[in-house]
Amino acid sequence: MRRKFLAGNLKMNGCSSSICELVDAITTRSKNFHDCDVVILPPYLYLNEVSLLLEKSHLSLGSQNICQFNNGSYTGEISAEMISELGCDYVLIGHSERRNFFLETNNHILEKVKRALENNLTPILCVGETMEERAAGQTENIIMDQISSTHDYIGISQQEKIIIAYEPIWAIGSGKAASENDVQDVLSSIRRNLETIGDSVTLIYGGSVNPENAQAIFEQADVDGGLIGGASLDEKKFVELARLLQEV
């Protein structure tokens, strides 16, 4: 079912005390925002501490990644089952930083989505094009290819559970968000292409969202929320984004 959804991807930032302070401030300041789902995605190492802080709040916990395998001899990896045990309800899968720096392919991403669903985690599947692909008019093809390489292998009822985050690679961390019209064009084409489930899937936008540009983006008909990087490290900005989303 479509719902208002905001996730803060803290990436590899902060330390135990700064993250706890941040999360504590976000939970206190956003306690009256009940109309949108707000999720915090801290680094793995702090999931447990953040989970305890979120226990009595309406915010949810998610992980920035999982391993594509169930368990076993995979040195340095963390499984879907492990993060689920720590209280996560969500997991980010296929972020462009994982695709680029850690060479994740659509095949890895499909396996991760399967592990997430098997462990009752909601995958937040990130898709997006490069500036060159956009300039060449390939945006829709690239994005639908990334989505269908997962959707084609899982049942339709499972497809509905996946939140899709459109994150143009050129907009991430660049300070240059996509225009609200470009965001709307891409998200409406995703809904159209998803056919029967299009109207029930939660679609969000990520890439340099901040309190100045968010309202125009959140107001678009096919936008259900945002995936926030930099602005999630500032509690005032992140809470303001939650407020704007709750009010559109």
Active-site annotation, residues:
95, 167
Contact 137, 153 (CB under 8 A): no
Cβ distance to ligand PGA smaller for residue 88 or 209: 209
Contact call for residue 206 and ligand PGA (CB under 6 A): yes
Alpha-carbon distance 216 to 245, whole Å? 10
Choose between 67 and 204: whose C-beta lies nearer to ligand PGA: 204
Interaction between residue 173 and ligand PGA (CB under 6 A)? yes
The answer to whether 182 contacts ligand PGA (rule: CB under 6 A) is no
The residue among 97, 10, 13, 84 whose CA lies nearest residue 51 is 84
Residue 243 CB, shortest distance to ligand PGA, in Å, is 17
3-state secondary structure 66-81: CCCCCCCCCCCCCCHH
Q: Which two tokens stand for residue 179?
A: 């225009």
Among 9, 63, 139, 202, which residue interacts with ligand PGA (rule: CB under 6 A)? 9
State in angstroms the smallest separation of the CB of 238 from ligand PGA: 10
Identified binder of ligand PGA from the candidate list 209, 214, 217, 239, rule CB under 6 A: 209
| Binding segment (CB under 6 A) for ligand PGA, from list 45-53, 103-111, 150-158, 207-215 | 207-215
Does the protein bind ligand PGA through residue 64 (CB under 6 A)?
no
Strand stretches in the chain, DSSP E: 5-9, 37-41, 60-63, 90-93, 122-127, 163-166, 203-206, 225-228
Q: Which of 203, 228, 241, 242 binds ligand PGA (CB under 6 A)?
A: 228
Compute CA 96 distance to the chain's CA centroid, rounded to the nearest angstrom.
Answer: 11
Strand 225-228 and strand 163-166: the pairing is unpaired
* In the complex, minimum distance from the CB of residue 125 to ligand PGA, in angstroms, rounded to a whole number: 12
Give yes or no for a contact between 39 and 7, defined as CB atoms under 8 angstroms apart. yes
Q: Which residues bind ligand PGA (CB under 6 A)?
A: 9, 167, 172-173, 206-209, 227-231
